[in-house]
Structure 1
């Protein structure tokens, strides 16, 4: 891939359908077989060293990080988006957070936070400290969300978007979806029998400590020193802002940049 990756991706994202209104329900994704405790489950019995070679492009491990997409490294929160400038260039769609807009909700230590999908179209990655080091991601091209712990081998890693795109073998991405590691956050907001994660050009994360590449769909490192390591999935809920706030009236909500600080 070349330095045009980010530009191609931005065009594809802009052309994609917006989140829009959600169905009148919420969906919870535990990654824990229903007991609410965060854990990590294997995607399939596969040699992790072969994941990158079997995906597309197979040369992803030799592809450099492409500048352009900057993740959030110092998130800011408020009770709503009343402080957000109507001309904010970092927000996809309406600069106001309407009741019907999609949010990813997380509860930790008796507190609640909401991460609006609209704030991810430009950044895709949020590094937070909430119930421990937290990673919240959204891939506009795949319409997939993934929430996990940022702790790997006892160290809290900082993640960012590599600017590269990679398609994992479909059997692995479907297994990750069925297992609850990733969830659909598309135009209708909640997964149903007619909607699924798109097994297409997927967000490739990298950690700044080792520059290992991580597949968002698989929540697994596919290149570098951490190859084969899986992230621990954290419980999350996909909802509308109105429904989430009704269920969690004391919730905070992520503010987009420039309120939240972006990576260099």
Structure 2
């Protein structure tokens, strides 16, 4: 009977704890490939509870009927402790009870915005409409469902990976609702309402569940300071703080500059450390990482990817970056950075930071943009394991 009590309580306690442990940033929980086990426990937690209780029913009844006061006290304590664990690990320590969606989603023009111009934003342009989402806000919410240019979009951000991504929230052509369920390898993870599959924020891929292997359609986005964004898109709308979450936003006040409140979100100023910043580019089948410190030093990096000449450029504010193919409709260019503009040394044509040629031989043309992300090195190399590195 004692063995039955031990086994029953172990099943009840371990299933509740492991259900959360594997998908939250507890010590040792994020390094191993345990996502399928975590999903199995999550999906069948009801069965684990039923099995544990069935094993316990008879020995508990016998113990409370004939056991000593000490036995009754100890078993009663374990039962209450289990109920406490259920409450803590289902209503206090779960991701969607720690991070909530905005209740008051408000946008305004740049002139009336309450967001400081030096704050970082994730910017999206679609069907002629531009919108900016301050990282300080979406970093807390993790995801914001919005409409840009008449199209529903899912703007996401993971502060532990420093990854901003935008997706169309459609699965097999059908609009889908998502909730933050936890994290895997330190990256935010969402659960779709229809099938309960889990989706990785950094890649938009369903990593476990019925839809495993599917990808959400991605949307091009750019990260830069609000000032730089409004310089390019003066008519952009800017997301405003929800008064309901003033305290939570304050916790991310210094996040933009790499000064997080915990080691999970704080930048390492040295290069190529887990918490170092990199610029990650995925072009064709090639992924490559560029050292942020090198970009700050040189402001422009030249490289060749997928047989194309490219440039990675940092604006004078030392925050806003861009990546372009260094080519025109008439052939390759030799671009140099001067006065926050790109100049072709062969023709003196001038491009602005949106990649538009504003003067010279190629006026009216645009440099092909390349999707580029600023994120922690540990994140980029985890989700792009075959990445190249520019030293």
Give the TM-score normalised by the residue count of structure 1: 0.56
Identify the residue that residue 68 of structure 1 maps to in structure 2: 98
From 227, 236, 243, the counterpart of 1:251: 236
Paired residues of 2:103 and 2:244 also in contact (CA < 8 A)? no
Identify the residue that residue 149 of structure 1 maps to in structure 2: 168
| Higher radius of gyration, 1 or 2 | 2
Identify the residue that residue 99 of structure 1 maps to in structure 2: 117
SS at match of 1:219: coil
CA displacement, residues 89-129 of structure 1 (integer Å, 9 cap, x when unaligned): xxxxxxx5222211010011111100110002321101112
Backbone CA RMSD of aligned residues: 2.9
Instruction: Point out where structure 1 has 5 or more consecutive residues left out of the alignment.
Output: 10-53, 84-95, 168-200
State the Cα distance separating 1:73 from its structure 2 match.
Answer: 7.6
Aligned length, in residue pairs: 170
Identify the residue that residue 212 of structure 2 maps to in structure 1: 227
Q: 1:246 to 1:149 in 2, by over 3 A?
A: same
Paired residues of 2:153 and 2:168 also in contact (CA < 8 A)? yes
State the Cα distance separating 1:211 from its structure 2 match.
Answer: 2.1
Give the Cα–Cα distance (whole angstroms) in 2 for the partners of residues 59 and 232 of structure 1: 27
Paired residues of 2:115 and 2:240 also in contact (CA < 8 A)? no
Q: 1:104 to 1:148 in 2, by over 3 A?
A: same
Identify the residue that residue 33 of structure 2 maps to in structure 1: 55
CA displacement, residues 201-242 of structure 1 (integer Å, 9 cap, x when unaligned): 110111223221101122101122222110111111111100
- Work out whether 1:121 is the aligned partner of 2:151: no
Paired residues of 2:104 and 2:242 also in contact (CA < 8 A)? no
SS at match of 2:229: helix
SS at match of 1:256: coil
- Work out whether 1:159 is the aligned partner of 2:178: yes
Instruction: Point out where structure 2 has 5 or more consecutive residues left out of the alignment.
Output: 1-17, 27-31, 43-89, 246-391
Paired residues of 1:101 and 1:241 also in contact (CA < 8 A)? yes
Greater fraction helix: 2
From 106, 109, 112, the counterpart of 1:79: 109
Tell which has more relative contact order, 1 or 2 (C-alpha 8 A, sep 6+). 1
From 128, 131, 139, the counterpart of 1:110: 128
Identify the residue that residue 136 of structure 1 maps to in structure 2: 155
- Work out whether 1:203 is the aligned partner of 2:195: no
Give the Cα–Cα distance (whole angstroms) in 2 for the partners of residues 122 and 98 of structure 1: 17
Q: 1:81 to 1:248 in 2, by over 3 A?
A: closer
Paired residues of 1:77 and 1:255 also in contact (CA < 8 A)? yes
Give the Cα–Cα distance (whole angstroms) in 1 for the partners of residues 196 and 241 of structure 2: 25
CA displacement, residues 180-199 of structure 1 (integer Å, 9 cap, x when unaligned): xxxxxxxxxxxxxxxxxxxx
